[in-house]
Amino acid sequence: MASAEGIRVESRDELALRTGEDVVRLRQGVRERAIAVGLSLVDQTKIVTAASELGRNTIQYGGGGTVSIETVANGSRRGLRLEFVDQGPGIADIGLAMKDGYTTGGGLGLGLSGAKRLSDQFEIDSAPGKGTRIAIVRWKPY
């Protein structure tokens, strides 16, 4: 991801995620950046939707946190990378949390699995008591 070889971060914005209004701001910020990177309308919609799911999770399960919105490039290829970080209780069983329909919060259980399907790259790092970090990337096709 950002630390991986060859990927360069061109711009970076950070937003706090505490309230439902922050998720609205996140959607707007991701949309603006996705347009700037040159993603198609469908790809913009996919990454904004994934951002909305993950942002809500950060607030609901992580007790709030931050998101970093990054314009990235790998050679001539550009993309949008989002990294969600919280210091919440963490996820004990990531495999289970990634399953469609599994939820501990009364939702549909599509947030994590759906966000992964809507992204080109998905990375999750979490352990009980250690918080959660999730990064996704959507690349502009060549």
**Per CB under 8 A, 52 contacts another protein:** yes
- Overall residue count recorded for the chain in this entry: 142
CB of 3 to another protein, least distance (A): 28
Among 33, 37, 53, 97, binds another protein (CB under 8 A): 53
Among 6, 42, 75, 76, binds another protein (CB under 8 A): 42
The residue range among 9-17, 51-59, 68-76, 79-87 that interacts with another protein, by the rule CB under 8 A, is 51-59
Enter the DSSP assignment of 45: H
Token code pair at residue 10:
């061109």
CB of 91 to another protein, least distance (A): 18
Find all residues with CB under 8 Å of 100, minimum gap 6, and list them: 109, 110, 113, 114
Among 15, 18, 27, 87, binds another protein (CB under 8 A): 27
Beta-ladder partners of 78: 73
Find all residues with CB under 8 Å of 78, minimum gap 6, and list them: 10, 37, 38, 71, 72, 139, 140
User: Alpha carbon of 1 to those of 25, 54, 76, 123: distances in Å?
Assistant: 24, 17, 16, 8
**Per CB under 8 A, 24 contacts another protein:** yes
CB of 51 to another protein, least distance (A): 9
**Per CB under 8 A, 33 contacts another protein:** no
Residues at the interface with another protein (CB under 8 A): 19-21, 23-24, 27-28, 31, 41-42, 44-46, 48-49, 52-53, 56, 100, 107-108, 110-111, 113-114, 117-118
